[in-house]
Structure 1
C-alpha cells in the first residue's frame, strides 16, 4: 500500500481532518515529525497545531534543535501542541517571536505557579524599570517600552496557557494567575506613564484599585480590566497639583495598555466603575470617594466594590482606600429598596441579551456565569455584615466559605461549584481561540469541534459539549432559584442539636433586606413552619428557600408568607400537600405568586385550601369552558335533595373556577378579553345550575312539574362576555307557559323559581355570593321580575325607550330553555339593530344621555382623567362609541350584530366605519382599563374604579400588569397616554 495512503488512514484515525494538508506540513517538518503525531492528536485542533509547527520550524534559528527537543521531550511537545491547537492568536505570536517556543521547554512549567511579585518583576524589567524601587520608572524609549510590555505579557501568558491546557491547572488558579499578570502589567504601564510625565509625576501618589474579576482574582483570558484610581498629594505638594498629575498618569496608563501597536494590544483598562461613571473625574482622593459613596452611590456600585483590591501604584494609599470604603459595602443591604433594585438589575441583565444570542450566552444568559456570581454576591452582601469569614473576592472561594458557614447546603454548593468551574473553563477555551472577548457559543461545526476537544471531549466533541453545557446550565438555573434564600433557613430553623445559626436580630435584618415590611412577624411565621424534627418541618425547610424568593419577587411578601402559613396549617397534615409542593416546583412557585400578589385569589384559596390541587394539574389553569362546567354544576346541584346543600355544591364549583381564572390571569396565561369570557362562562354555568336547583325546589314544594319554561337573559358586561371579578350578574327573566297552562299560575311559578334562585345565590357561606341584578328589565324595579315572551314583545313595541334599545345591545339569552332563548333573541334583534339605523334626532338623544351620564354619574372627588369606567377615554367612552356605531349601522353590517365590544370594533374597521388606528386606540384603552379593574380586585379583594392611592397597592397593581419595581408612575403615565388617544377618537367618532 502506498505510504501516502497509509499515512492518510493513520491521520484520520488520530482525528486529523485534512490528511493532504497535514501530510504536506509533515513533509516540511522532516523525518521525525511522524513521531509527534500522537501528541498533536490530543490538541483541540490537530490540523492547526501541525500547520503552526511547520511554520514555526521555518522561522526558528535552529530548526533541528526545535524538532529534536520535541521528539525527545513529550512534555515540551505536549505543551507546544496544546497551545498551537487551541489558540491561533498565540500561534501567530510564536511566529512573530519564534524563540519563545523555548518557554515551553521548561520542565518545571507544569508544576509551578509563579508568584505575583515574580510576574510583576518580569514585566517591570521588560520596560527597563527597577522592581526594587517603590515607584519604578521605565527607562526604555517610550514606544519601545510599550511594545516590550506587550511581548513580555504574551510570553508570560504563553507559559500560563500551556500549563492550563496540558497540565490540568484549576480554573481558579488560572484566573488568579491572570489577575496577577494583569496587576503586574498595570504596574509596568504605570512605570511607563511616570517616564512619560517626568518630574511632575512626583507630586502625586497614585493607587490603582482593581474591580470586577481582576479585583476578585478571577480574571478571564480576555477581559476589560476594571479599575478605580485613588490619588493623594506627595509630601511637599498640594492636592490640586496631585490630582492634575494623577489624572495624567492614569490616562496614560490606560492608553499604554489599550493602544494598538505593531505588537497588538493587551486589554482595555476601563474606569467606568468610578464614582459618577465616565462623566466623573478620572482620579479622586480617598475623602472624595468616601463622600460620593456615603451620599450618592447606588446599590449596584456597592456590589461592584465587593471585589475592590489594590493592585498597582502606592500600596499604602490603596490599603487606605479599601479600609475606608469596605465598611460601606457591608451596610448596603440596609438601604431602602435594596431588594427591589437587586431584582431589577437581574431582570435588566436578561432583557438586554440580544435575541440571537439568548440561547448561547454562557455568561449573561439564564443558567450562566452571571447567575452564579450574582447569587453569591448577594449572599455575601446580606450576610457579610455580620460574618466577616465570607468576605472573599473570588466567586469560588466565596461559595466555599458560604457553604462552610451553612449559608448554602453542601450538595448545592458542590453542584454549583462544579457548574461554575465548567462554565469558566468553557469561557476560557472560547476566548483562547483568537484571544478575543466572547461569551457566545459558536454555531460553526468546526469551531464547536475545536471547542469540545479543548474541553477534553474527543469521542464526539460537539455532542458531548452540548450535553455537558446544557446539564450544567440547567443545574445553575435550578440552584439559582433557591440559593439566594436558603441561608434564611439557618436563621429560623433549629439545627438537630438545637442551635440557631443566626441571632433573631440578624434574621430580622435579613428579612428586612428581602423586602418584608414586618420582619418580626415574618420570623415568627418561619419559626412556626420550620422548627422541630417532624417530617412536615423537614419538608418545609426544603420548600421555603425558593418560596421566600418567590414571595420577595411579588408585591407583598408579608402577605405571601402569612398566607402560606395559614394554608400549611390547614393542609400540612395531608399526605399530598407538602409532597406536591416539594416535588412539583411549578406548583410551589404558582402558590407563592398567588399568596404574595392577590388578596382576592388568596381569600378564595383560604375558603377551600384543597384548591392547591389545581396548581398541580396538567393544563390546570386552562378554563374548563361553559359546557363542561354546566354539566358538572348541574349534576352536583341537583344531586342534593336539600336546595341549600345543592347550591352549596354549585357555589363551591364556582369558587374553584374563580380561583382557576384568577391564577391564570396572575400568571399571564389569559388576557383581559379571555378573562371576561372565562368569568362569563363560570357565571352562566352557575346560573344554569342554580336555575335547575331552584326549579327542583319549587317543583318539590308544588309537588308537580312547573307549568312554564324559563330562560335568563344576560345583560351588560355579562351579556357582552366581559365580566370582571367583582361584576354583578345583570339579567332579565323570561318565561313561556306550557300549552294549556293557566297564565297566572305559570307566572306565579316562574316568579317563585326566580326568587328562589336569587335567594340561594345570596345565602351566607364560605363561598362568595353571586349578586343577581334585574334592574335592566322593563319598568325597572317597579316592573315584574319575570315576563312572558309576549309581554316583552308588547312592552318593546309600545313603551321601549332608546336607552333600552341600547341596553339590549349587550343582551344574550344565555341560560335556561334553549328554544326560548333563541326566540327572545329573534324578538329583540330588530329593536337593537334597526334596519334603517338611527336618525339624526335619535343620535342626538344618545349623545344627550351620554352627556348626562358624564355629568352626573362620576363619583364625587373622582379624577375624570383616571376613573377607569367613567373617566375620559375610559370604558364608558369606548363602549358608548361602539354602541352608537352598532345602532346606526348594524342593520346593514352583519358583523356589528354582536354583544362583544372588541368584536364590534373589529367589524367596524372591516366595514370602513372606523380606521384601524382609531380602533386600535379604542381597543388599547378598553383592554387597559378592563385589566386594571381586574388587577385592583386581585390586589385589594374588592372592586374600585380608580387606581389605588396607597403606594404599596398601586405598586402591586403595576406588578400584576407587568411593570417592574418602582414603575407605578410609568403605569399611570401609560394609562393617561392611552386614554388621551382614545378620547381623541371618541371626540371625533361619537360627538361629531
Structure 2
C-alpha cells in the first residue's frame, strides 16, 4: 500500500500501539518488541482498519501471539489444513456447550488471521474469500458430524430406502447457497443453508420412533443454534434459512423427492437464480451428487432461456425499490453499479445459456466471467471492466466488514471513518477514493443497463403501426376492421392470413397455456406482424415464422430472445422468407435461435482450425462417459453451422466453393471428435490394441468418399465412409477385458456409425453409407490396409476405382494416412486397357441414367426435344453432374499412369485444372466444364434451401448441358487416343 498515512491514522495507530504494549506481561512484551518494523506496521494497519481485531487483541493477546508464533499470518493454507486443525481442537469435545465454545475460539483466531492478511493485501481477494469459505465448511461439517452422532445416541438413527430397496442409514445433506456455495464468502458473511435428506423413513435404536423428517429438523435446529447463537465468545456464522423451499413457512428439512417436487411444481425464477451457486457441504458424496443432478434441470433449461432476463429485471427492480425506500444509495452491493449488478450480468448468461453450455454451470463468478469473454458471449473489454470492478468492490466490502465484524456494505457517513477507509483502500484522500469508486460504479451500471435493463428507446423508435397490431392481436377490433388492417398494411391475401392468425390467437393451445406464455405471445406477435411487412412476400414470411412460433408455444422463453433483440427477429424473418429449409430446421430445433444473438458470427464462417477448436471446447466440459450429452452436443454443433451456411448463402455472402469447404470442414471436425470419443470409450473398457516391440502403435482411418472426399458437400449431404486399420489381427488389446485387435477396430467402426446415424431428440447427425467398402454390404465393416489394397488390385470393379478417385482421409492416424494415400495413388495409376475401361465407364453411366434419370433420359429423348414441358435432373440426366464426374474419373484412371499428378487431388475442380496443366484438356474445355459443374452444384444447393427437388425445367441451363454432352461424346468415343488433348 503506497498511500501516505494521514495525521488521524498516525495518531490512532500510535495510541493503539502504546495501549496494547501496556496490557502485556513482560514475557509477552519482549515477544512483540522482537517483531520487525514491517510486521509492527502491518499490525498497526490492521488495528486502524479493524476495531474488531483491535478489541480482540486487547482482550485476547494470546490469539495474536499464537498466529505470530505459528507463522500463520504469512502462509497460505494447504489443502484440508484448516479442517485438520479444527479436528484436533474438537478432539475430546463432550458437550454441545463445549462444541459451541471451541468453534467460536477457532473462528475468532481464523478471523483475525484473515483480516490481517486481507487489509495488508498479503493475498489476492480470491484467497480471502476462499479462506473464509473453508472456515465455514469446516465449522458446518464438523459441527454437523458431532451433532448427528449425538442425536443418533439420544433419539435413534434415521433409516430409509429408495424405491423399496434395502434400508440404509440416512445422513443430512446441507446445501450451501449464495457466496458460501460459490466459495466466495466475504469477511462477515451470513451463510445461506438448505437442509435435506435422501429418503423418508423412521429412526431405529431409541425408545421412541421419529420420522426421518422429525430427526433432521431437530438436527438442523441444533446446528443453527451451535453456529448462530451469540454467546460470551461471540458467534460462528449467522445462519439464514430463508432460501429453503417455501421460505420461512416451510419445513426446516425435506427429503430429496420433496425437494424435487417443490422445484418442479412451484420453483420461482429467483430460486433458479439462487440455485446456480448451490453446493453440497455435508453428507454422503453419492447422495449429494444425486441431489444436484435432480435439481440441475430446474436451474438450467435444455434450451436457451432468454426469459431469465425479465426475471432478473424483476428482482433488480424489487431491490431498487428497497434501495430507494431504505436510502441505500451508498450500499456498494445493492446500490447503483454495485456488486449485485455484476452478479446479475454474469448469472443472466448462466441462466440463458447454461443448459447448453456446461462451461457456464460453474459457481465462482470470476470463472464464469472468464468463460464469457473467451467464448465471446461478452466483449473482452466488458469482462475486464467487470472483473476489475468486482475485485475493487469486494476488497472494499471486506474493508467495511473488517471494522466491526458486521455484515455491511454501506459506506461510512462520518469523515473520520471515511478517511480511514480511503487509506485502507490505498488512497491519499477521500476525494480520490470516492472519485475512483464512482468511475467503477458508473462502468458497472453502464454494462448492466446495456445487458439487463429494458431499452426504453427501442419501442419509441419502432413504427407507430405497432399500436395497431397490438389492437389487432388483443382482439380489440371487429373482424372486418382486422381484415381491412391486414390489407392496408400490405398483405397479399388478407383473408387467408387472417384465418391463419385466428387459428393461433383463438386456438385451444393458447387458451390453455400458462399466463406467462400468453403474455409473451401477446408481446411478440405485434412485433412479428410489423417485421414481416419489410419482406417482398409478407404472407409467406409470416406463415413460415408462425410454424416456429407454434413449435415453441410451450417454451416461449425463445420468443423473449426475439423481443429483446429486434435485429435477431428481423434476420429470422428474412431467412425464413428466403428458405423453407431454414424454417423447418429452426422449428424442429428452436435452440438454434441462440445463433441469432451474434449476427456477426451468423454470417461469417469460421476457418477450419476455429471449427475444430470450437467443437473441442464444447466437448471438453462433458464427462467422457456421458455419450448421450456428447451426441446431443455434436448434433447441435452441426445444426448451428448448417444454419450459418444457409444464412450466408441467403445473404449472398458465401460463394459455392466456400460453402462446400465449410460444410466439409464441419463434417471433418465432427468425424475427428467422434473417432476420439469412440476410441477413448472402447479403450477404457478393453484397453489399447497391442503391437510388437519396435513397431508403431496401430492406427485407424476414416476415409471419406463422394462429396465428403471431394470436398463438395452440400446441405443435407450424407457421408460415404470406409474404415481402415493397420493393427496386427492376431494380437489382443491390453485391458482387463481384452479383444482381438481386429474385433477392437470392428467395434470402433460400429460405435462410430452408431454415434453418427442414431436418431436422438435432436435427430440424426449424418446419414452414413458404408457400401463403398471392399465387397460392399457383404464385406467387413473395417478392413486392414493390406486387405484393402489386395481387394482394390485383385477384385474391385471399375466403378470402385472411379469412387476411389474421390477418396480422401478425413480423420485418423497421420502415419497410416500417408500409407493409404500411397496405396490410392498406386491403384489409380495402374496401366489399364483403354477400350475395356471405356466400355465399363460408359456402361455404368448408362445404368445410372436409366435408373435415376428423368423419363426423357430413360427414353433416350434427343437434346433437340428439350422444352419447358420436360424436366432436367441436374445430377443424373445427360449433360448433368454425373457426366462431368464420370469424365473426370475416366481421365484419372486412363491417363494417370503417364501423368501421376492426376492422383493428387480428390475434388473435380482441381483435377480439371491438373488435366489442363498436363495438356490433356484444352483451356477452353476445362473452363467450360468447371463453370458448368459449379453452376449445377450452386443450383442444387439453392434447391435444397427451398426444399425443392434436383429437377428443373427442361429448357433451363440448355447451353451448359449441350457443352457437357459434346465433351462427353468427344472424349468417350472409341477412337479418341488416351494421351491426346481434347
TM score, norm. by length of structure 1: 0.44
TM score, norm. by length of structure 2: 0.44
